[in-house]
């Protein structure tokens, strides 16, 4: 009887010039322009994130994990001084910081642009099967946000700036809506729920199993 022995190895890391890395053209993950811009801003105001979550590459220096961060860094490399400064000055995180701290962060990126080296994780010892598994699992969202926890302990505007999908009430409570014509009221109203793409697809699939439309499925769940 053969005994399988698993020997755990910590991932090796190294510093590489960013232009040596290559985007994984077969990466199944995509990003919209608005969220990509938020990612760039997030990297600029919190560069320590790159140390905590390095880009993972294979033996050919193709990014297996962190493709979006890699693309974000390449975008920063092409940005002007004024563009980087503008992001820093408008960031909620930095807006109340001393000017000296904002200048120091700007100087950090100007120095980095002169020698754009990044920390990468070396996954060159993975098999082809393991590489494919890693790419897929690295992009899976297993967890879900606890919206009550987010609402009670986190600043909503910070979450939005960081790119977190948060629930929002789009109702208009301004002065212009305090007086309404009852005759113009429609007896149908819209309930809007906001989820990440992964959670949305799961919710939609579950609702379709219960009834023909999401509205009917929700009524069925609520016993109405």
Residue where a domain terminates, one of 118, 138, 158: 138
More confident residue, 166 or 58: 58
pLDDT tens-digit map of 2-38: 555 555 556 688 999 999 999 988 887 788 898 899 9
Would residue 7 count as lying in a domain? no
Task: Say if residue 57 is in the same domain as residue 118.
Answer: yes
Confidence at residue 156, expressed as pLDDT on a 0 to 100 scale: 72
| Same-domain pairing of 126 and 70 | yes
Q: What whole-number distance in Å separates Cα of residue 66 and Cα of residue 72?
A: 10
What pLDDT band is residue 168 in, cutting at 50, 70 and 90?
A: low
| Residues 67-102: tens digit of each pLDDT | 999 999 999 999 999 999 999 999 988 988 999 999
- For 119-135, write each residue's pLDDT tens digit: 999 999 888 898 888 88
Which of residues 146 and 218 earns the better pLDDT score?
218
39 shares its domain with 127: yes
Does 221 score more than 70 pLDDT? yes
In angstroms, rounded to a whole number, what is the distance separating the alpha carbons of residues 79 and 42? Answer: 15
120 DSSP β-pair partners: 14, 55
Amino acid 165: pLDDT? 62
> What is the widest separation between alpha-carbon atoms in the chain?
82
Domain final residue, candidates 138, 157, 188: 138
Are 123 and 151 contained in the same domain? no
Please report the pLDDT score of residue 179 as a whole number: 54
Per-residue confidence (pLDDT) for residue 192, from 0 to 100: 76
Residue 193, domain extent:
147-222
Can you give the pLDDT at residue 173?
A: 47
List of E strands, the chain: 12-17, 55-57, 63-65, 117-122
Predicted TM-score (pTM) of the model is 0.62
Over the stretch 171-209, which tens digit does the pLDDT of each residue have? 554 555 555 454 555 566 677 777 777 777 778 878 888
Residues 75 and 163 in one domain: no
Is 21 in the same domain as 132? yes
In a domain, residue 105? The reply is: yes
Are 116 and 173 part of one and the same domain?
no
Whether residue 140 has pLDDT greater than 50: yes
Tell me, yes or no, whether 107 and 166 share the same domain.
no
Contact present, 57 and 63 (Cβ < 8 Å) = yes
Domain edge (last residue) among 99, 117, 138:
138
């Amino acid at each position: 009887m053969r005994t399988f022995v698993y020997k755990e190895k910590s991932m090796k890391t190294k510093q590489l010039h960013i232009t040596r890395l290559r985007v994984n053209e077969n990466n199944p993950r995509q990003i919209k322009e608005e969220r990509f811009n938020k990612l760039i801003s997030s990297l600029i105001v919190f560069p320590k994130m790159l140390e905590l979550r390095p880009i993972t590459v294979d033996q050919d220096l193709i990014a297996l994990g962190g493709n979006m961060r890699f693309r974000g860094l390449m975008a920063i490399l092409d940005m002007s001084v004024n563009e980087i400064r503008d992001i820093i000055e408008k960031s909620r995180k930095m807006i109340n910081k001393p000017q000296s701290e904002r200048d120091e962060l700007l100087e950090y990126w100007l120095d980095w642009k002169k020698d754009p080296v990044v920390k990468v994780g070396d996954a060159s010892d993975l098999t082809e099967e393991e590489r494919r598994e890693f790419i897929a699992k690295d992009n899976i969202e297993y967890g879900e946000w606890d919206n009550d926890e987010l609402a009670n302990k986190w600043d909503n505007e910070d979450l939005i700036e960081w790119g977190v999908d948060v629930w929002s009430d789009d109702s208009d409570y301004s002065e212009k809506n305090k007086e309404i014509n009852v005759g113009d009221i429609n007896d149908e109203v819209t309930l809007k729920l906001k989820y990440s793409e992964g959670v949305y697809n799961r919710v939609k699939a579950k609702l379709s199993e219960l009834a023909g439309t999401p509205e009917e499925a929700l009524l069925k769940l609520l016993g109405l």
